[in-house]
Amino acid sequence: MEIRPEQRTAAGRNEPQSYSDLWTNHRPGRMLSSSANRGWSGLSAELWTYGKGVIPWRGMQSGILVCVDISGNGSLETRRASGIVDQTATRRGTTWMCPPGWQEGSIDIADDLPEIVHFSLALNQFSPGRLGLNIDASAISALRYESAFEDPLLGDIASAIVSEMQAETSAGRLLVESLANSMAARPVQKHISAPRAQSVADLARGGLDRRRLSRVLDYIEANLEGDLNLDGMASIACLSRYHFARAFKQAVGQSPHRYVSAKRLELAKALLIQGNRPLVDIALALGFSSQANFTRTFTLATGLAPGQYRRELGSPYSQLWHSGRRFEVVGDPSCRKIE
């Protein structure tokens, strides 16, 4: 399975080569969902289902491939390549990690595998600026093929990314960037010394001082209608994005993606009330890839579809409420106020 150099997506972001493009002509499975066209940075993901059989696969030229079983039915899977035979009865959270240079081989699946998610991590995910570690190419080259293992954290990360892949949220890119950091840190942590690991933990507990936090919050507020990303926010805070995500949560009580998601929901409400701006424009401005995804998320959060919200809040009663008179806006759970 070869990971090729990053390519520029339509959304203007770097995204690793699609996993489905890396197979040989044999197509033993069916893709259930994909991160294609989401504009995710440094990571791509695909959820597959497989029937029993033998799958040929190729070695990787660059990047890290991480495969995680998110359902687990005890199917026996045997991987053969580079003189290694790895046989595992899969469970939920069973993980395989393949570094660059893995040679051609095969995967023998004894029983159906309902849900396997494949992550392609670009090598720039392992840069010092993203992980906050002084690592070099030799550290990455030291990574080796990992026999199947169970890692609860990687299992949770995989499930969270699949959830975002299947149901997009307004701050989903921030979430995925943060989770990609955590996923990249797992193999690196196995190859750094204890003193280095301790210093990393100390830095992560440092938090954000009030001045830097204020700059970050102002930056978020000014860029809600734009491409907010962890690199930009971490730069404002003068931290690696790996440490920034943890420091922000310590200071604010929410992760960056949850904070931005809440802020964008409030902005969406304001934009809907203020005028007749097309819903698709609002959706794209707030980080959604489509109007349909925006509608689904907004409806889930407020109980009203965007168009219905605009009609309700555009009524005479709602206008009086917003000018200071106290009336009930029927059907809008977020704006009820009865004297």
Q: Which CATH number fits domain 7-189: 3.40.47.10, 1.10.1060.10, 3.40.50.1240, 2.60.120.280?
A: 2.60.120.280
Q: What Cα–Cα distance (Å) separates residue 26 from each residue in 3, 29, 307? A: 18, 9, 46
Helix boundaries (H) for the chain: 128-131, 137-141, 152-166, 172-189, 194-204, 210-222, 230-237, 241-252, 256-274, 279-285, 291-302, 306-313, 316-322
Distance CA 243, CA 103 (A): 34
Burial class (CB in 10 A: 0-12, 13-18, 19+), 52: middle
318 pLDDT above the threshold of 70: no
Residues ≥6 apart with Cβ < 8 Å to 32: 47, 48, 49, 115
Predicted confidence band of residue 336 (pLDDT cuts 50, 70, 90) = very low
Distance CA 258, CA 216 (A): 15
317 pLDDT above the threshold of 70: no
Distance CA 251, CA 273 (A): 32
**For the residues of 101-153, what is the DSSP string, one character each?**
T---EEEEESS-EEEEEEEEE-GGGGSHHHH-S---HHHHHT--PEEEEE-HH
Of 45-54, 197-206, 208-217, 308-317, give the lowest mean pLDDT range. Answer: 197-206
pLDDT at 3: 28
Q: Which amino acid makes up residue 182?
A: S
pLDDT, greater one: 104 or 280: 280
Distance CA 143, CA 121 (A): 14
pLDDT at 32: 92
Distance CA 306, CA 293 (A): 11
Average pLDDT, rounded, for the chain = 76
Beta bridge partners of 118: 46, 67
| 20-69 per-position pLDDT tens digit | 444 444 556 889 999 988 888 878 899 999 888 888 776 566 778 888 99
Burial 90-115 (b: 16+ CB within 10 A, else e): bebbbbbbbbbebeebebebeeebeb
pLDDT at 103: 66
Question: Which residue reads 């396997």 in tokens?
Answer: 116
Question: Whole-model pTM?
Answer: 0.70
Question: Which residue reads 């507020």 in tokens?
Answer: 221
At 26, list the tokens.
């044999």
81 pLDDT above the threshold of 70: yes
pLDDT at 9: 38
Asked if residue 36 lies in contact with residue 59, where contact means CB atoms within 8 angstroms, the answer is no
At 193, list the tokens.
């010394």
**Measured at the alpha carbon of residue 66, what is the angle toward residues 65 and 70, in degrees to the nearest 5?**
150
Write down the CATH number for the domain with range 265-322.
1.10.10.60
Domain locations in the chain as residue ranges: 7-189, 194-253, 265-322
Predicted confidence band of residue 128 (pLDDT cuts 50, 70, 90) = low
